């Protein structure tokens, strides 16, 4: 039995489990209440992973948005295991060896936030899949402005050259199969920049694993 499991009853006694969205009491610390679960929009099984190699756990509706905001800006990092489990359910069986690579943050953004939300999800994803974490495979040496409100072409221009492979990890990336992990996939500009960098390093296969994906009509 893991130490955290042994102390779980004590933790629940001191901090009764609450839904991270509505605050209602729940049975365990690792999920949502039933009403909040019911408002998550889950992709149909045949579209959970599309032809571009994207495995999304949810559609980016109001509930998913609030979860992501609570996780990323509300510092509710305990949501990472739940998000990872949902992503894993959409990935299917991973055959062979895979590396889980998070979308990187610029060092100033990382310092301001205190954590990389994609890295936290990637770490938890490795616990429920056969993937191995390579947290520093990609670097973001140039700080970019917020992409909100920009069109796809403008986002691509802003991100051009902003994400690069880590020279110290080139040998690990060459010929590797990569799970590129992010919290939300919007226009795809950031993940496209990551894929360019991974291909420069010689990655053989890239699949995107994200908690939520913005619908085509909302990009």
Phi and psi, residue 193, nearest 5°: -65, -40
Rounded to 10°, the helix 80-91/117-128 angle is: 60
- 88 torsion bin: left (phi>0), alpha (psi -120 to 50), beta (else): alpha
pLDDT one-digit tens code per residue, 55-76: 999 999 999 999 999 999 988 8
CATH topology of domain 41-218: Rossmann fold (3.40.50)
For the ranges 12-26, 29-43, 126-140, the one whose mean pLDDT is highest: 126-140
In which residue are the tokens 């890295």 written? 119
Contact between 53 and 200 (Cβ < 8 Å): no
Enumerate the CATH 3.40.50.2020 domain ranges in the chain, comma separated: 41-218
Mean pLDDT of 26-41: 81
For the ranges 35-39, 79-83, 172-176, the one whose mean pLDDT is highest: 172-176
47 pLDDT exceeds 50? no
* Neighbouring-strand partners of residue 213: 59, 185
Helices (H), the chain: 3-6, 8-14, 34-38, 62-72, 80-91, 107-113, 117-128, 152-159, 170-173, 189-200
pLDDT one-digit tens code per residue, 177-216: 999 999 999 888 899 999 999 999 999 999 999 999 987 5
Closest CA to 219 of 55, 87, 33, 60: 60
| Per-residue model confidence (pLDDT) at position 15 | 59
pTM of the prediction? 0.85
pLDDT one-digit tens code per residue, 80-104: 999 999 999 999 889 899 999 999 9
């Amino acid at each position: 039995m893991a130490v955290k499991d042994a102390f779980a009853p004590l933790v629940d006694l001191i901090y009764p489990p609450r839904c991270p969205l509505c605050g209602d009491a729940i049975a365990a610390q690792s999920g949502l209440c039933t009403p909040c679960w019911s408002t998550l929009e889950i992709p149909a099984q045949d579209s959970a992973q599309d032809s571009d190699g994207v495995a999304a756990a949810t559609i980016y509706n109001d509930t998913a948005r609030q979860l992501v905001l609570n996780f990323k800006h509300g510092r509710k990092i305990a949501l990472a295991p739940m998000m990872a489990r949902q992503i894993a359910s959409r990935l299917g069986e991973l055959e062979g060896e895979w590396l889980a690579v998070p979308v990187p943050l610029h060092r100033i953004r990382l310092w301001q936030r205190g954590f990389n939300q994609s890295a936290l999800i990637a770490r938890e994803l490795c616990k429920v899949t056969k993937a191995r974490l390579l947290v520093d495979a990609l670097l973001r040496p140039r700080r970019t402005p917020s992409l909100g409100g920009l069109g796809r072409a403008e986002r691509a221009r802003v991100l051009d050259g902003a994400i690069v492979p880590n020279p110290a990890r080139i040998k690990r990336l060459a010929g590797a199969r990569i799970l590129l992990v992010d919290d939300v996939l919007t226009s795809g500009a950031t993940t496209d920049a990551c894929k360019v960098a991974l291909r420069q390093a010689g990655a053989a296969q890239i699949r995107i694993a994200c908690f939520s994906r913005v619908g085509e009509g909302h990009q």
